[in-house]
């Protein structure tokens, strides 16, 4: 079993180094490749822990599927392991915390989308140059 640090599993340094080596050699890596490397380095987890994670994941999917007629979520996580029915919540601080968490997630996604957009622009410019040169 992998050692734990603050509740999160830690990767053996050799496994991390191998994953990074494959990633930077090919500039991409599949989830299956990562799993194979981790298996090679004997990274594992307790079966009960895996079952609990699976059950939580199913619960998260159920909560995420609860939507109103317009498709908006009815129930959101407060980020502390509890789910809140928005229309019934009277705790302003809890609602503010949920809003901050969602805004932070959106900000991070927007930053990633911007980075992807910039790379597409670079590739488009290269394509134009290559076509002009041909």
* DSSP output for 32-95: HHHHHHHHHTT----HHHHHHHHHHHHHHHHHHH-B-TTS-BSEEE-SSS-EEEGGG---HHHH
Tens-place pLDDT, residues 74-125: 999 988 889 999 999 999 999 999 999 999 999 999 999 999 999 999 999 9
Integer Cα distance of 127 and 12 in angstroms: 41
pLDDT higher than 60, residue 27: yes
pLDDT higher than 60, residue 5: no
The model carries a pTM of: 0.70
Contact between 86 and 74 under an 8 Å Cβ cutoff? The reply is yes
Average pLDDT over residues 29-53: 95
For the chain, how many residues are written?
134
pLDDT > 90: what percent of the chain?
Answer: 87
Q: What is the mean pLDDT of the chain?
A: 92
Among residues 98, 106, 64, the alpha carbon closest in space to that of 80 is found at 98
DSSP 6: T
In this prediction, residue 10 carries a pLDDT of 85
Indicate the pLDDT class of residue 4, thresholds 50, 70 and 90.
very low
pLDDT higher than 80, residue 45: yes
Integer Cα distance of 129 and 120 in angstroms: 14
């Amino acid at each position: 079993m992998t050692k734990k640090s603050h509740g999160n599993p830690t990767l053996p340094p050799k496994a991390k180094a191998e994953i990074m080596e494959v990633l930077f050699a090919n500039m991409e890596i599949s989830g299956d490749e990562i799993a194979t490397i981790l298996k090679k380095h004997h990274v594992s987890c307790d079966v009960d822990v895996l079952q609990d994670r699976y059950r939580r994941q199913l619960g998260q999917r159920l909560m995420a599927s609860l939507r109103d007629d317009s498709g908006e979520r009815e129930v959101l996580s407060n980020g502390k392991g509890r789910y809140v029915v928005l229309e019934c919540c009277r705790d302003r601080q809890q609602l503010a915390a949920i809003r901050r968490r969602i805004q932070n997630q959106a900000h991070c996604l927007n930053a990633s989308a911007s980075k992807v957009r910039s790379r597409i622009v670079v590739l488009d410019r290269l394509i134009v140059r290559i076509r002009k040169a041909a």
